[in-house]
């Protein structure tokens, strides 16, 4: 009887276990581009490049160099075709992709990558594809090893080098590239990985969503997908093994999930999310056109931080009132020579020219021993970074040691100031004398350009100081007498105040921009500027957190600069506030000595309302 019972219980279960693969499966990844997509999976793979390491004889050196030259020619044609296709993409995607393709074209010119590959062919007797891969990895390793706070930027630059190496290798080995022509309309594209060039071939009117196994939030592919407005999730481990072509799927780019073969409940939830997202998108789109004004009529300037020109489309989409922090390090990274005045002028013109009515605050080069830039290492006398580069020769300290760098940047910015309003920001200021010395150089450059008959604005752009160390904040009264404006960099200010590096896992939990010491330094610097009726802004991560807006406004700040994606929700918060309420709230917060209590007060200030229409 026992055996019969076992047989009866097992037989009905067998059919349920057989189609195990058909069950609903939720795969989680990194949210990249918000939005919800419901459609059939279309999986696509790219034939792997088979390029084993290969040595050559001395007699074949010239032959291998000719092979490399042919691959370079083919790659240039492919990049040119991609650039020719820009006209069919949305304007935001065009503006994002064009600078990237220009960077690719530069690397297919007389670049370090190609010079190094040719050298390896001759000196190390390597086949062309092996030489390209070795040189690309060597360059990428140098970039990624830089002790730079901008890790996403370093990864993007290393990715650019590797992408060109990948293209050259595929051309050298005659390996076909991925084709996306067969993707049906309304499909959710699933792949192991997409390159920026792949993303450029996507039609946002046909592709409902994108999900990949590889990739991260700060790469060029992610920026492209956001610019195209395609709901996307990257970094979905196990996705390509679990998904089959034709499977129904629900993708949520905001939550970072893709549900394969959804059941009735998951499908209904996806449809509700799709409708809610469409409504939210329409509401935020309305916010773009509305002013950033409090309920009692106080205007708050919301600007965007810009890391690389590729982010310009995101700034336009967000409705930013200009650029509050343009980091210029991108001009000096991943190149063998220093950008001269004309090269810098062209780069700044691209940015200022795209925002002729809005202001652009350009921070001059912030570089020191902690940032590895080969062009600077070769173009100026080297120095030792020391055991703690973050406390060494960096920012304005380095520029005053090498005034020719500062002079070329000043000259390029002064020339571009005829195209639109600009300001100049000095990094890592700690004492008033640094601003005074920089102003002497600045005025000398102005006189030189005027003698040469160069067109300049009638009034020279303001020269401001970055407040990002406790010393600068505590000396803000004196620095304000030398500077024309302040920009408070809360990221570094919190790091230096608390002696915490957020990149160090052991102490990252101690990093807290709401620590009373950090807030008091922000307050001190703000009040010093306001006493002289001098412009002051916050350009760190605090500015992009909607929950911190009441506190910042209450401290007297009226200008915030942040990542472009944060602007709509910060504006939404601004439009629900009254300045008197914010001032009372700030007084209450500044009375506290316990960071945990401050956190509680901030969280309990109130949920952001929907905003006014």
- State the pairing for strand pair 463-467/422-426: parallel
pLDDT for the residue 610: 41
For residue 410, what is the domain's CATH number? 3.20.20.60
pLDDT for the residue 288: 79
Would you state the torsion angle of the CA atoms of residues 161, 165, 166, 167, taken in this order, to the nearest 10 degrees?
110
- Say which of 220, 236, 515, 582 is annotated catalytic: 220
Average confidence (pLDDT) over 106-119: 90
Higher-confidence residue of 147 and 251: namely 251
3-class secondary structure, 41: strand
Average confidence (pLDDT) over 265-269: 93
Query: Which segment of 87-91, 247-251, 312-316 scores lowest on mean pLDDT?
Result: 87-91
d(C-alpha 442, C-alpha 435), whole Å: 10
Question: Does residue 593 belong to any structural domain of this protein?
Answer: no
Same domain, 405 and 442: yes
Question: Does residue 466 belong to any structural domain of this protein?
Answer: no
Residue 15's pLDDT band, with cuts at 50, 70 and 90, is: very low
Question: Does residue 486 belong to any structural domain of this protein?
Answer: no
Residue 334's pLDDT band, with cuts at 50, 70 and 90, is: low
pLDDT digits (tens, 9 = 90+) for 186-239: 999 999 888 877 887 787 778 999 999 988 877 778 877 887 778 999 999 999
pLDDT for the residue 444: 96
Residue 8's pLDDT band, with cuts at 50, 70 and 90, is: very low
3-class secondary structure, 369: coil
Distances (CA, A) of 383 to 334, 340, 346, 393: 19, 22, 30, 9
d(C-alpha 189, C-alpha 240), whole Å: 11
d(C-alpha 511, C-alpha 504), whole Å: 10
Same domain, 146 and 72: yes
For residue 252, what is the domain's CATH number? 3.50.30.10
Same domain, 342 and 426: yes
Average confidence (pLDDT) over 37-50: 83
Q: What is the 3-state composition of the chain as percent helix, strand, coil, each rounded to the nearest 5?
A: 50, 10, 35
Question: Does residue 525 belong to any structural domain of this protein?
Answer: no
**Count of domains forming the chain:** 3
Higher-confidence residue of 565 and 126: namely 126
Same domain, 263 and 410: no
DSSP letters spanning 65-131:
HHHHHHHHHHHHHHHHHHHHGGGGS-HHHHHHHHHHHHHHHHHTSS-HHHHHHHHHHHHS-B-HHHH
Q: Which of 263, 279, 133, 159 is nearest to 214 (CA)?
A: 159
Question: Does residue 547 belong to any structural domain of this protein?
Answer: no
CB 522, CB 473: distance < 8 Å? yes
pLDDT for the residue 279: 83
> 455-465 burial, b if ≥16 CB within 10 A, otherwise e?
ebeeebbbbbb
pLDDT digits (tens, 9 = 90+) for 513-546: 899 999 999 999 999 999 999 999 999 789 988 9
Same domain, 330 and 454: yes
Q: What is the DSSP letter of 480?
A: T
d(C-alpha 222, C-alpha 3), whole Å: 58
- Say which of 236, 515, 539, 582 is annotated catalytic: 539
To the query of whether residue 582 is one of the catalytic residues in this protein, the response is no
CB 476, CB 467: distance < 8 Å? yes
pLDDT digits (tens, 9 = 90+) for 418-437: 999 999 999 999 999 999 99
CB 543, CB 562: distance < 8 Å? yes
pLDDT digits (tens, 9 = 90+) for 140-183: 998 888 766 667 778 878 888 988 998 999 899 888 777 777 88
Question: Does residue 557 belong to any structural domain of this protein?
Answer: no
Same domain, 406 and 339: yes
**N-terminal to C-terminal alpha carbon distance within the chain:** 74
To the query of whether residue 539 is one of the catalytic residues in this protein, the response is yes
pLDDT for the residue 194: 87
Question: Does residue 484 belong to any structural domain of this protein?
Answer: no
Same domain, 336 and 444: yes
In a 13 Å sphere around the CA of 171, the CA atoms on its Cβ side amount to 22
Question: Does residue 315 belong to any structural domain of this protein?
Answer: no
Same domain, 221 and 255: yes
Chain centroid to CA 57:
44
Radius of gyration of the chain (CA): 27
CB 296, CB 579: distance < 8 Å? yes
Q: Please determine, for residue 71, whether its predicted confidence score (pLDDT) is greater than 90.
A: yes
Share of the chain above pLDDT 70, in %: 85
3-class secondary structure, 463: strand
- Looking at every residue in the chain, the average pLDDT score rounds to 84
Same domain, 342 and 442: yes
Average confidence (pLDDT) over 384-401: 71
Task: Provide φ and ψ at 603, rounded to 5°.
Answer: -65, -30
Q: Which of 357, 354, 384, 356 is nearest to 369 (CA)?
A: 384
pLDDT digits (tens, 9 = 90+) for 590-607: 999 999 999 999 988 864
Residue given tokens 């594809």 in the structure block: 129
pLDDT for the residue 90: 58
Q: What is the DSSP letter of 38?
A: E
Share of the chain above pLDDT 90, in %: 52
Q: Which of 148, 142, 139, 141 is nearest to 369 (CA)?
A: 148
Residue given tokens 């009692």 in the structure block: 296
pLDDT for the residue 282: 78
Dmax over CA atoms of the chain, in Å, equals: 108
Where a domain ends, among 252, 280, 308? 280
pLDDT digits (tens, 9 = 90+) for 290-306: 899 999 999 999 999 88
Could you tell me the residue range of the domain that residue 146 belongs to?
Answer: 58-173
Binding residues for Mg(2+): 468, 492
Distances (CA, A) of 563 to 155, 268, 453, 602: 18, 34, 38, 21
* Sign of the dihedral defined by the CA atoms of residues 119, 120, 126, 128, in that order: negative
d(C-alpha 482, C-alpha 498), whole Å: 27
Q: Which of 197, 300, 222, 280 is nearest to 576 (CA)?
A: 300
Same domain, 99 and 124: yes
Where a domain ends, among 439, 461, 483? 461
CB 273, CB 63: distance < 8 Å? no
Task: Provide φ and ψ at 65, rounded to 5°.
Answer: -65, -35
- State the pairing for strand pair 25-28/257-260: antiparallel
Where a domain ends, among 405, 426, 461? 461
Higher-confidence residue of 401 and 200: namely 401
For residue 161, what is the domain's CATH number? 1.10.274.10
pLDDT for the residue 470: 95
CB 590, CB 552: distance < 8 Å? no
pLDDT for the residue 34: 86
pLDDT for the residue 129: 92
Same domain, 265 and 329: no
Query: Which segment of 254-258, 433-437, 504-508, 584-588 scores lowest on mean pLDDT?
Result: 504-508
pLDDT for the residue 253: 92
3-class secondary structure, 473: helix
Distances (CA, A) of 95 to 78, 194, 204, 216: 19, 19, 16, 21
CB 333, CB 157: distance < 8 Å? yes
Higher-confidence residue of 613 and 28: namely 28
Same domain, 204 and 113: no
Residue 384's pLDDT band, with cuts at 50, 70 and 90, is: very low
């Amino acid at each position: 009887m026992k055996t019969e019972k076992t047989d009866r219980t097992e037989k009905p279960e067998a059919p349920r276990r057989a189609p195990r693969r058909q069950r609903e499966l939720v795969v989680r990844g990194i949210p990249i581009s918000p939005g919800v997509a419901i459609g059939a999976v279309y999986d696509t793979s790219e034939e792997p490049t088979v390029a084993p390491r290969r040595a050559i004889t001395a007699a074949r050196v010239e032959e291998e160099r000719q092979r490399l030259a042919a691959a370079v020619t083919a790659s240039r044609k492919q990049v040119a075709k991609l650039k020719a296709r820009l006209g069919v993409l949305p304007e935001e995607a065009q503006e994002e992709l064009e600078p990237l393709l220009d960077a690719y074209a530069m690397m297919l010119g007389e670049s370090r990558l190609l010079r190094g590959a040719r050298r390896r062919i001759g000196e190390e007797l390597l086949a062309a594809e092996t030489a390209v891969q070795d040189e690309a990895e060597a360059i990428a390793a140098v970039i990624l090893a830089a002790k730079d706070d901008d890790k996403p930027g370093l990864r993007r630059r290393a990715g650019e080098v590797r992408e060109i190496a990948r293209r050259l290798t595929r051309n050298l080995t005659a390996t076909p590239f991925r084709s996306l022509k067969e993707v049906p309309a309304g499909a959710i594209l699933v792949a192991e990985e997409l390159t920026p060039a792949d993303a450029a071939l996507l039609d946002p009117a046909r592709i409902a969503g994108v999900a990949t196994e590889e990739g991260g939030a700060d790469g060029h592919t992610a920026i492209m997908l956001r610019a195209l407005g395609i709901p996307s999730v990257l970094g979905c481990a196990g996705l390509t093994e679990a998904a089959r072509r034709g499977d129904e799927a629900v993708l949520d780019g905001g939550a970072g999930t893709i549900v394969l073969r959804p059941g009735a409940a998951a499908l209904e939830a996806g449809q509700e999310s799709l409708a809610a997202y469409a409504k939210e998108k329409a509401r935020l789109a309305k916010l773009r056109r509305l002013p950033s004004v409090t309920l009692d009529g106080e205007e708050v300037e919301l600007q965007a931080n810009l890391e690389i020109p590729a982010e310009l489309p995101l700034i336009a989409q967000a409705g930013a009132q200009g650029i509050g922090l343009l980091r210029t390090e991108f001009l000096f990274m991943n190149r063998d020579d220093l950008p001269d005045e004309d090269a810098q002028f062209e780069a700044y013109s691209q940015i200022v020219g795209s925002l002729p009515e809005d202001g652009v605050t350009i921070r001059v080069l912030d570089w020191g021993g902690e940032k590895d830039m080969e062009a600077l290492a070769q173009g100026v006398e080297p120095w030792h970074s020391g055991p703690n580069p973050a406390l060494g020769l960096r920012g304005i300290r380095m520029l005053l040691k090498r005034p020719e760098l500062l002079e070329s940047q000043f000259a390029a910015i002064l020339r571009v100031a005829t195209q639109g309003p600009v300001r100049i920001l000095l990094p890592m200021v700690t004492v008033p004398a640094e601003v005074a010395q920089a102003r002497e150089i600045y005025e000398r450059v102005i006189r030189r350009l005027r003698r040469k008959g160069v067109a300049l604005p009638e009034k020279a752009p303001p020269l401001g100081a970055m407040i990002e160390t406790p010393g600068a904040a505590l000396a803000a009264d004196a620095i304000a007498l030398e500077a024309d404006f302040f920009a408070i960099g809360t990221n570094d200010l919190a790091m230096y105040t608390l002696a915490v590096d957020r990149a160090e896992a052991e102490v990252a939990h101690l990093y807290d921009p709401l620590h009373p010491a950090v807030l008091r330094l922000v307050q001190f610097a703000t009040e010093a500027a306001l006493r002289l009726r001098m412009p002051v802004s916050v350009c760190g991560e605090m500015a992009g957190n909607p929950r911190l807006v009441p506190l910042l406004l209450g401290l007297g700040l009226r200008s915030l600069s942040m990542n472009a994606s944060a602007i709509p929700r910060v504006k939404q918060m601004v439009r629900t506030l009254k300045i008197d309420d914010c001032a009372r709230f700030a007084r209450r917060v500044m009375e506290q000595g316990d960071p945990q209590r401050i956190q509680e007060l901030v969280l309990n200030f109130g949920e952001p309302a929907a905003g006014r229409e």
